[in-house]
Amino acid sequence: MLKALIEEGVDTIFGYPGGAIIPVYDRLYDYKDKLKHILVRHEQGATHAAEGYSRVSGKTGVVFATSGPGATNLITGISDANIDSTPLVVITGQIASSALGTDAFQEVDVIGITQPVSKWSYQIRTAEDIPWAVSRAFYIASTGRPGPVVLDFAKDAQVGMMEWHYEKTNYIRSYNPYPDVDMEAIDRVAALINKSKRPMILAGHGVMISRAEKELAALAEKNDIPVACTLLGLSAIPTSHPLYKGMLGMHGNVGVNVHTTDCDLMIAIGMRFDDRVTGKASTYGAQATKIHIDIDESEFNKNVKCDEVVLGDAKAVLEALLPKIEGTKRTEWLSGFDICDEIENKEVIEPEVHPTTEMMHMGEVVAMVSEVAGDEAVLVTDVGQNQMFASRYFKFSKPDSIVTSGGLGTMGFGLPASIGAKVAEPERTVCFFTGDGGMQMTIEELGVIMEYGIGVKIIILNNNFLGMVRQWQELFFHERYSQTPMTNPNFVMIANAYGIPAEDVESREQLKPAIERMINTPGAYILNVNIEPDGLVFPMIPAGGEVKDMMLKVGKKYFE
C-alpha cells in the first residue's frame, strides 16, 4: 500500500491509527523519509485537513483511518469533498475478509455507507488487489469532476504477500473523464456571445479545477464581459481585475445579483446553479439566454434550464472558444455595475467596514486582516456569518486562495482545513476566520498545530451566538432566539494550553495593532475578537426568494 502511494506521488498523509489498520501504520514506521504523516485528533479532522491540502496544492489528499467508528467519523468530510469536487483517497482499515458479516468488533459496512457520498468505493480483500485498486483510485479521484474515493482495506489483505508490480491507470473503459469538445456547440456559443449586448460570466470552482484562470480572463477581456464568481469560484480571477464585479448569491454583491435580472446572456463556467446562487431557480435570469459549460453532464438542466450546454473540461472548452470571439467594448453595460456598487458601498460596505457602532463588526475585522496580510494570503473559513463576511471582504490575487465548505456547509471544517492548507503552502500566510460555534466543533485540532508547529493565523469572530442561525431567527422567526446564545470558554487560555500565542481584542483601538502582531509573529497565532452580538450579513436574498427580494438591511429592500 505504501509503495503504491509513493508511486502516485504522495508525500503527505492525514490520519489516525486504530486496531484494524495497525499493519499499515507499522510499515509506515519504515517510510518516514518518504511519507509525512500528520496525526490529527479526530478522523473528521483528517478529511477536512486533506481537503484543505488538496484545494491549495492541486494534489489528491490522502487519509488513513481505522474501521468502525474511525471510518464513520470520516463520512462528513467525504460528503463535503464529494459535493465540493475535492479529490481525496480515503483508506480505511477493515476486519479480516473471512469475518465480514459477523458483526465482529468494529465492523461496519464502509462500502455501503460511503457509496452515496463518494465518487468510487472499493473493498480490498487480497494483497494482489492493492496496486490495481490504488492506481484506479487516484485516477478516478483526480480526473474529470474530482471527488473522494474510498478504499476499505481488509486486515488479511494488509498482511498478505504478493509479487510487487505497479502500473498507473490512464484509461478505464467505462469512464470518460475528458469528453471531446463539440465544435458545433462551440460555434453556436461563440455566435451567442458575439451578438450579445449585455453578457455576464458566472465563474465557479470548475475554472480553477481545470486551471482555466488565464482563459477565463482572456474571454472576459476580449469581449469586455463582466465576471461574477460563486463562493467556491472566488480567486479564479483577481479581486483587483477591472472586469471582476463580485460574488453571486444569497449574500453576494449587489451589482452582480441585480444584473442577473437584466443581462441578455449568462455564460456559466464550472458552476452548478446551486440554490444559494439562484434563489428561486425557475425565475433565475429568466430574461437571458443561458450557456452552461461543465465537465459533469449530470449538472446540465438539473437546476436551471439552459439554452446551450457544452460538455468538457473548462480549459479545453475556453481554448476552443477564444479564437471565435470578436472583440467588443461594453462601456455602458459595465457602468451599470458601477452604479450598483455605489449603492452597495453607501448602504452596506461603508457601514460594515467603517461602522459607527461601539462594538466591532465582522466586516471591518476581515477587511483589516486582508489589508495587513496582503492579497497573496490564503483565506480559510468556517461556516456561517464568518464565512460570508470573509468571502465578501478578503482580497485575492492568486487562484486557489479560498478554502471553504460550500455545498455541505460543514461547521468545524475550517480549523483542520487551514492546517492542510498551511501544510500544502508553508510559505504563504494562511488566515482562518471562524465563529465561536464552529471553532468549538473541531477545537481539538489545535493539538496538531501544537505538535507540528503549523503557522495558521486564526481569527475568532466571537459574538457569543450561533450567528447565522440567530440572523434567520431575527429576520424570519420573530426574534425567537431558540438555542443560539452561547456561553463560551476562555479561548486565550485554551490557546495557551496548546502553546499557541493568543490575545483578546475587545476594542477598535486594539484591533490593528493586534492584527499586525499576529501576522508578524512567526508560527500560529489566535485572535479572539469580540464582535457586536446582533450583527447581520447583508445584502441577503431570502432562501427561495428572487433578486427582487434582496435586502440591504432590516426592513429595506434594494428595489424599494
By annotation, the residues acting in catalysis are 43, 105-106, 155, 468
Query: Residue type at 140?
Result: I
Task: Tell which residue, 97, 93, 91, has the closest CA to residue 126.
Answer: 97
- Contacts (Cβ under 8 Å, ≥6 apart) of 141: 60, 87, 88, 89, 119, 120, 147, 148, 149
The CA distance from 365 to 531, in Å, is 9
- Contacts (Cβ under 8 Å, ≥6 apart) of 168: 7, 8, 135, 138, 139
Cis bond before residue 146 (omega within 30° of 0)? no
The CA distance from 285 to 102, in Å, is 55
The span from the first CA to the last CA of the chain, in angstroms, equals: 63
Q: Return the sign of the alpha-carbon dihedral for residues 350, 245, 242, 363.
A: positive
Give the CA diameter of the chain: 74
The CA distance from 317 to 280, in Å, is 29
Q: CB neighbours (10 Å) of residue 488?
A: 15
The CA distance from 349 to 361, in Å, is 11
Q: For 466-471, which contacts have Cβ atoms below 8 Å and span 24 or more sequence positions? A: 466/384, 466/435, 466/437, 467/384, 467/385, 467/386, 467/435, 467/437, 467/535, 468/383, 468/384, 468/385, 468/388, 468/537, 469/384, 470/534, 471/385, 471/536, 471/537
Q: Is 481 helix (H, G, I), strand (E, B) or coil?
A: coil
Q: What is the pairing mode between strands 12-15 and 36-39?
A: parallel
The CA distance from 55 to 501, in Å, is 27
